[in-house]
C-alpha cells in the first residue's frame, strides 16, 4: 500500500535544505527593496506590498542562529499564505518540488518552533517549516534591515527597481479589478449604473408619444436620426412616477438600446470590486429584483441598478395589438 504523500517546495539557504507545503506558496519573486518594520517578530528583515497584501520577510539563517550571510541579487523571496497571514522567507534557490510521504516526516520536539518536521529524502535531511509560526514571537531586539546589508549603491538601485516593478503590477491588477459606476438621481434618490452600459447622456427636448404602451414608456426620442425609446423605471424601483421629463441616460445591453429617465448626473465612481456589496440596502422599499449591489457614496450606501435584467424584463415588452 502506498504511503500518503504531499507536494513540497524544497529550497536552499546556506547549504541547508528547507521545504514548505506547496499549497501554501503564494508567489516566488526576486529579492527586492523592503520597507523597514519594527515590533513584528524576531528576524524579520522588512516588509513589502505584494498584490495589495502586506508580506513580512524573514531571514531563516538568523532564526536558526547561523552567522548572517551576504544577500545577493540572485536570491529569492518565497511568499506563503496561511490563515490570512502572508510571510516571505529568503532563499538562495529553489531546488525542486517533490512529494514527501507522511511517514517520512518526523515531528520536532518543540511545538513552538517554526521547523515542524524533519524529513529524510534519500540521503538528504530536509527541514520542513511552517511559516505561520514565525509570527508567534514578538521582536525583542533591533533587527537588521535588508536594504542596509551587504548591497552596493548599484545593487540597492536594482532592488528598488524590482520593488517599483512589483508595485506597477499591483496597480495594474487593481485597475483591472476596478469597476466604474455613474451616480444618477431617480425619484429624488441616488442610484448607480455601470459605466460600461452607458452610451451617453442627453437632454430631452421633445418626445413622441407611442400609442397602446404601458405607463412606463415615456415615448420615443429622435437622437441624431436614431429613434430611442425612453422609459421611466420609477415603477420598477417602487418609486413615485417621474413628473419632470428633462434628462435621460442612454444604455445598451445585448444590442438593446433604451433611454432611462433621470433627475440628473452627479458623479462617476471608480471602485474596487471588493468594495461593492451584493447585500441589499436595509430599510428601503425598493424592488430588489432590479438592484444588483450596493456601494458607498458620499457617506451613504446607494443601490446599483441591474440594467441588464431591467432591459430583459417582460414589463418592457410593448404589446402592439390594439
For 259-318, give the DSSP string: EEEESEEEEEEEEEGGG-B-SPPTT----GGGEEEEEEETTEEEEEE-HHHHHT-GGG--
Statement: the pTM of the whole predicted model exceeds 0.85: no
Cell numbers describing residue 227:
429613434
Query: Residue 123 contacts by C-beta under 8 Å, 6 or more apart in sequence?
Result: none
Name the band, by pLDDT with cuts 50, 70 and 90, for residue 2.
very low
pLDDT score, position 305: 92
Q: Are residues 138 and 182 in the same domain?
A: no
Q: Are residues 304 and 248 in the same domain?
A: yes
Q: Are residues 241 and 137 in the same domain?
A: no
Torsion angle of the four alpha carbons 257, 278, 265, 225, in this order, in degrees rounded to the nearest 10: 0
**Mean pLDDT over all residues of the chain?**
81
Residue 296 lies in a domain: yes
Q: Are residues 109 and 193 in the same domain?
A: no
pLDDT score, position 59: 87
The phi, psi pair for 295, rounded to 5°, reads -145, 150
Range of the domain at 23: 5-151
Q: Is the pLDDT of residue 166 over 90?
A: no
Q: Is the pLDDT of residue 203 over 50?
A: yes
Enter the DSSP assignment of 32.
-
CATH code where residue 45 lies: 2.40.50.180
Do the beta carbons of residue 106 and residue 117 sit within 8 Å? Answer: yes
Q: Are residues 207 and 284 in the same domain?
A: yes
Q: Are residues 123 and 188 in the same domain?
A: no
- Strand 198-203 to 247-253 pairing: antiparallel
Residue 307 lies in a domain: yes
Residue 81 lies in a domain: yes
* Residue 126, beta-bridge partner list: 119
Sheet-wide strand order for 5-13: 93-101, 5-13, 16-21, 124-129, 115-121, 105-107
Q: Are residues 92 and 222 in the same domain?
A: no
* Residue 223, beta-bridge partner list: 226
Q: Are residues 96 and 139 in the same domain?
A: yes
Q: Is the pLDDT of residue 278 over 60?
A: yes
Q: Are residues 93 and 218 in the same domain?
A: no
Q: Which pLDDT tens digit goes with each residue over 24-42? A: 898 889 998 888 876 655 5
Q: Are residues 223 and 289 in the same domain?
A: yes
Q: Are residues 130 and 189 in the same domain?
A: no
pLDDT score, position 89: 92
Q: Are residues 39 and 132 in the same domain?
A: yes
Amino acid at each position: 500500500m502506498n504511503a500518503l504523500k504531499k507536494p513540497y517546495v524544497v529550497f536552499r539557504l546556506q547549504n541547508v535544505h528547507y521545504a514548505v507545503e506547496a499549497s501554501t506558496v503564494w508567489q516566488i519573486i526576486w529579492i527586492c527593496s523592503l520597507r523597514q518594520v519594527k515590533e513584528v517578530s524576531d528576524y524579520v528583515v522588512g516588509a513589502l506590498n505584494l498584490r495589495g497584501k502586506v508580506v513580512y520577510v524573514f531571514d531563516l539563517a538568523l532564526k536558526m542562529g547561523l552567522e548572517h550571510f551576504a544577500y545577493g541579487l540572485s536570491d529569492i523571496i518565497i511568499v506563503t499564505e496561511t490563515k490570512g497571514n502572508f510571510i516571505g522567507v529568503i532563499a538562495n534557490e529553489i531546488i525542486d518540488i517533490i512529494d514527501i510521504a507522511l511517514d517520512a516526516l518526523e515531528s520536532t520536539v518543540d511545538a513552538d518552533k517554526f521547523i515542524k518536521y524533519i524529513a529524510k529524502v534519500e540521503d538528504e535531511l530536509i527541514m520542513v517549516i511552517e511559516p505561520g509560526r514565525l509570527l508567534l514571537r514578538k521582536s525583542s531586539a533591533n533587527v537588521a534591515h535588508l536594504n542596509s546589508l551587504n548591497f552596493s549603491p548599484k545593487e540597492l538601485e536594482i532592488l528598488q527597481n524590482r520593488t517599483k516593478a512589483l508595485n506597477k503590477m499591483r496597480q495594474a491588477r487593481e485597475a483591472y479589478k476596478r469597476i466604474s459606476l455613474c451616480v444618477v438621481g431617480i425619484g429624488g434618490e441616488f442610484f448607480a449604473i455601470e459605466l460600461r452600459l452607458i452610451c451617453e447622456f442627453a437632454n430631452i427636448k421633445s418626445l413622441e408619444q407611442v400609442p397602446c404602451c404601458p405607463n412606463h414608456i415615456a415615448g420615443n426620442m429622435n437622437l441624431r436620426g436614431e429613434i430611442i425609446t425612453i422609459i421611466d423605471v420609477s415603477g420598477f424601483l417602487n418609486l413615485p412616477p417621474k413628473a419632470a421629463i428633462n434628462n435621460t441616460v442612454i444604455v445598451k445591453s445585448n444590442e438593446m438600446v433604451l433611454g432611462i429617465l433621470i433627475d440628473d448626473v452627479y458623479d462617476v465612481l471608480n471602485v474596487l470590486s471588493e468594495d461593492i456589496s451584493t447585500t441589499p440596502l436595509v430599510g428601503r422599499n425598493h424592488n430588489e429584483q432590479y438592484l444588483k449591489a450596493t456601494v458607498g457614496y458620499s457617506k451613504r450606501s446607494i443601490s446599483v441598478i441591474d440594467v441588464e435584467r431591467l432591459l430583459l424584463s417582460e414589463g418592457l415588452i410593448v404589446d402592439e395589438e390594439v
